[in-house]
Structure 1
Amino acid sequence: MIYRTLGKNMGEIPAIGLGTWEIGGRDFPDLSRDKEHIDTISRAIEMGYTHIDTAEYYGGGHTEEIIGEAISVFSREELFITSKVWPIHLRKEELHRALEGTLRRLRTDYLDLYLIHWPNPDVPLEETLNAMSEEVVNGRVKFIGVSNFDTPLLKKAVAVSKQPIVNNQVLFNIDDRQPMEELLPYCQSHEITLTAYSPLKRNSLKPSTEKLLKDFAVKYSATVQQIMLAWLLGKEGVVVIPKASKLDHLRLNLEAGSIVLDDDDTRRLDSLE
């Protein structure tokens, strides 16, 4: 496993995490495949996935319950658990209660990383970050960050937070590459890790992109998906959280960390329209 540094040498985060959106439901709980999901997460941890990403919103909280069951037989200290607070819970007291619920469902005493899932313009950012900072002092959260923040809002968060903002989780993949313009350079210069969600493009790729990826897959004896992950992982300070439900896909995603694209190939992928 490869790692990224959080903040100014404050800690490390595994660069390849396990995304859990739609595990145990989308907006509401779905209990129909719990046993399968618990087994998949357990097998993933055994395979080397020590970084698990989730959110209180996923499956109406049920995703956290599934993860809590799966991780209960593993050493908590060897895992890196990230969860996110939903925008309707960003007031101080509501955030504290939301975190209590998350910890209860995950069966843990603390989170390694706690993120604001989406910004809420109706709640002062300083109030939310003060509440999150209190949880760092209380020991229920190790690090704090944000998700879906553009560069101006991230700058504001950095300015008003009492604790360092160490992470911003955003949509970032070979086709959705807006972070490269301004956000990623800002994060790199301020030692903020950038977590790419949906790193494997969910919908069809542009034909030109797909052709180049297939060419590189042959060159590097890899899959197209592995090249997509390797391109992201080749960027300073970037973490990926692909989701996979099949063991062979989990293994292939993890192995993408060992693929290093040469500079010319990286530049060709960087320059795609």
Structure 2
Amino acid sequence: MIFRTLGSRGAEIPAVGLGTWEVGGRDTPDKSRDREHIETISRAIEMGYTHIDTAEYYGGGHTEELIGEAISIFSREELFITSKVWPSHLQRAALHEALDGTLQRLRTDYLDLYLIHWPNPDVTLEETLSAMSDEVQNGRVRFIGVSNFDTSLLKEAVAVSREPIVNNQVLFNIDDRLAMNELLPYCQNQGITVTAYSPLRRNAVKTSTEKLLKDLASKYSASIQQIMLSWLLGKDGVVVIPKASKLEHLRSNLEAASIVLDQVDVRMLDSLK
């Protein structure tokens, strides 16, 4: 496993994490596959996925419950757990209550990383980040960050937060690459890790992109999905959180971290439109 450094404090986050969106439901609980999901998360941890990403919104909180059940048999200190607070809970009292629920569902005393899931223009960043910084001081959160923030809003968050903003989780993949223009260079300069969610998502398949991915997959004896992940992981400070339910896909995603693309191939992928 490769790691990324979080901010200036020297702590590390595994560069390949386990995404859990739609595990146990979308915005409401779906308990029809609970045992399967718990088993998959447990097997993933055994395989090397020590970084698990979730949110209070996922499955109406049920996803956190499933993770809590799965991680209960493992050493908490060996895991890196990220969760996100929903925009309607960004006021001080609501955030503290939301964190109470998240910790209870996850069966843990602390989060490694707590993110603002989406910005809420009706609540000041000062209030939200002050409340999150308090939770760092209280020992219930180790690090704080944001999600779905553009560069301008991220700069504002950095300016007003007492605790360092160490992570911004954004949509980033071979097709959705807006983050490369301004956000990623800013984050790299500031020592802020960028977590790419939906790193394997494809939009309308373009023939030129598909051909290049297939050619590179053949060249590196890899899958197209591994090439897509390797391209992201080759960028300084980038973390990926692909979701997978099959063991072979979990293993394949993890192995993508060991594939190093040469600079000519990276430039070709970078130049795709």
Q: Provide closer, same or farther for how the CA distance between residues 41 and 202 of structure 1 changes in structure 2, counting only shifts above 3 A.
A: farther
Per-residue CA deviations over 1:108-144 (Å, capped at 9, x if unaligned) read: 0000000000000000110000000000000000000
Amino acid in structure 1 at the alignment position of 2:126: E
Aligned length: 273
Q: Which residue of 1 aligns with 2:12?
A: 12
- Match runs of 1:1-273 below 5 Å: 1-273=1-273
Amino acid in structure 2 at the alignment position of 1:211: K
Q: 1:24 aligns to what SS in structure 2?
A: coil
Q: 2:221 aligns to what SS in structure 1?
A: coil
Amino acid in structure 1 at the alignment position of 2:168: N
Per-residue CA deviations over 1:188-236 (Å, capped at 9, x if unaligned) read: 0000000000000144432211110000000000000000000000000
Instruction: Return the alpha-carbon distance in structure 1 between the equivalents of residues 166 and 209 of structure 2.
Output: 31
User: Which residues of structure 1 form unaligned runs of 5+?
Assistant: none
Q: 2:16 aligns to what SS in structure 1?
A: coil
The two structures have a TM-score, normalised by structure 2, of 0.99
Instruction: Return the alpha-carbon distance in structure 1 between the equivalents of residues 137 and 146 of structure 2.
Output: 18
The question of whether the paired residues in 2 share the 8 Å contact of 1:68 and 1:106 is answered with yes
Amino acid in structure 1 at the alignment position of 2:11: G
Per-residue CA deviations over 1:138-197 (Å, capped at 9, x if unaligned) read: 000000000000000000000000000000000000010000000000000000000000
User: Which residues of structure 2 form unaligned runs of 5+?
Assistant: none
The question of whether the paired residues in 2 share the 8 Å contact of 1:175 and 1:206 is answered with no
| Identity %, equivalent residues | 80
The question of whether the paired residues in 2 share the 8 Å contact of 1:21 and 1:58 is answered with yes
RMSD: 0.6
The question of whether the paired residues in 1 share the 8 Å contact of 2:174 and 2:202 is answered with no
Instruction: Return the alpha-carbon distance in structure 2 between the equivalents of residues 19 and 204 of structure 1.
Output: 23
The question of whether the paired residues in 1 share the 8 Å contact of 2:175 and 2:203 is answered with no
Instruction: Return the alpha-carbon distance in structure 2 between the equivalents of residues 28 and 115 of structure 1.
Output: 21
Per-residue CA deviations over 1:227-248 (Å, capped at 9, x if unaligned) read: 0000000000000000000000
Instruction: Return the alpha-carbon distance in structure 2 between the equivalents of residues 21 and 10 of structure 1.
Output: 29
The question of whether the paired residues in 1 share the 8 Å contact of 2:4 and 2:238 is answered with yes
Amino acid in structure 2 at the alignment position of 1:104: Q
Task: Give how far 1:28 is off.
Answer: 0.2
Instruction: Return the alpha-carbon distance in structure 1 between the equivalents of residues 109 and 249 of structure 2.
Output: 31
Task: Give how far 1:44 is off.
Answer: 0.1
Amino acid in structure 2 at the alignment position of 1:132: M
Q: 1:25 aligns to what SS in structure 2?
A: coil
Task: Give how far 1:9 is off.
Answer: 3.6
Instruction: Return the alpha-carbon distance in structure 2 between the equivalents of residues 134 and 10 of structure 1.
Output: 21
The two structures have a TM-score, normalised by structure 1, of 0.99
Instruction: Return the alpha-carbon distance in structure 2 between the equivalents of residues 105 and 185 of structure 1.
Output: 36
The question of whether the paired residues in 1 share the 8 Å contact of 2:175 and 2:202 is answered with no
Amino acid in structure 2 at the alignment position of 1:161: S
